[in-house]
Amino acid sequence: MGKNPLASGILKYISPILYSIYYISLNWGTGTHAPETDDYFIQRSSKSMIKARLFTLFILTLTCISNANANAIDDINQVKNGAVDFDKTVTVGQALDYWKSCMSRDWSSFKKNNGATVVEFNCQHHALDYMKEVEKFLSGREKKSPHINIKSLTQTFQFTLNLDGSFQLDNVKVYLRWKDNVVFSNPSPDAEKELKAAYNNRITWDPTMKPTKRNVPYFVKALKEMRAEGLKQMR
C-alpha cells in the first residue's frame, strides 16, 4: 500500500503533539481538587470544556491525516490498476510490484507546485550483490577506493495523473549512492525504454551475469566517472 510523503511527514512531527493533546484531554482535572465550592464547580466546568475542545482537535487532526492518506492511495491505485499502450496484458502494478530487479519497492504520491498529482514508484536494485562479484577481480587496495563503496542503486518512475482519469509516464531517474552519501542522479533519455525493461523483468546489475576480468575495468572506470559527476552535482 502506498503512502503520502506529505501526510507521513506531518504525522512524524506532530505525533508527539497529538499524544500530548490526547493525554491532556483524558487526564485534565482528574487530580486532587480543592473543596467543592461554587468557584470549584466553575473551574471544573471550564476545564471540562477545554478538555472537550482538545479531544475534538485531536480527532479532527487524525481525520485530516486519514483523508490525506486515503487520497494518496486512490491516486496510486489509479496508476497501479491501469495499463500502458505498449502492453495491456498486465497492469502497471503487476509489472512493477513483481519486478525481480527490486530488492525493495515503494509507491508514493505528491503534488507539484502547479497542483498536478504525481505518483512515484521507487525500486532499490540488488546492486550490492553485483558489486560482490565485481570485487572478486579487485585488489585489496582497489576495494577501498571511494567509488567502489556503493551503498544503493535506486530507480524512480514518475507518472502524472490527468484530469480525465488517465495517466502517463513522466520521467525515470537513477540514483547511485555511495556509503559516504555522495549521490549521482541521472534522468533517463528514454523513459519508456526503462519501463519496458521492467515489464520484461530485466534485472539491473544482474549478479547472475558474472562480470569478467575483461569488462570489470570498464565498469570500475564508469563508477569513478559517475562519482566525480555526483560530487559536482552536490556542489
Report residue 177 as a C-alpha cell: 549512492
DSSP code, position 115: S
**pLDDT tens digit string along 40-88?**
556 666 666 665 555 555 454 444 444 445 577 999 999 999 999 999 9
Assess contact for 152 and 124: CB atoms under 8 A.
Answer: yes
What is the predicted pLDDT for the residue at 89? 97
Report residue 112 as a C-alpha cell: 507539484
DSSP code, position 190: -
What is the predicted pLDDT for the residue at 31? 53
Split at pLDDT 50, 70, 90, the class of 209 is: confident
Say how many C-beta atoms besides its own lie within 10 A of residue 17's C-beta.
11
Task: Give domain limits for the chain.
Answer: 5-80, 92-233
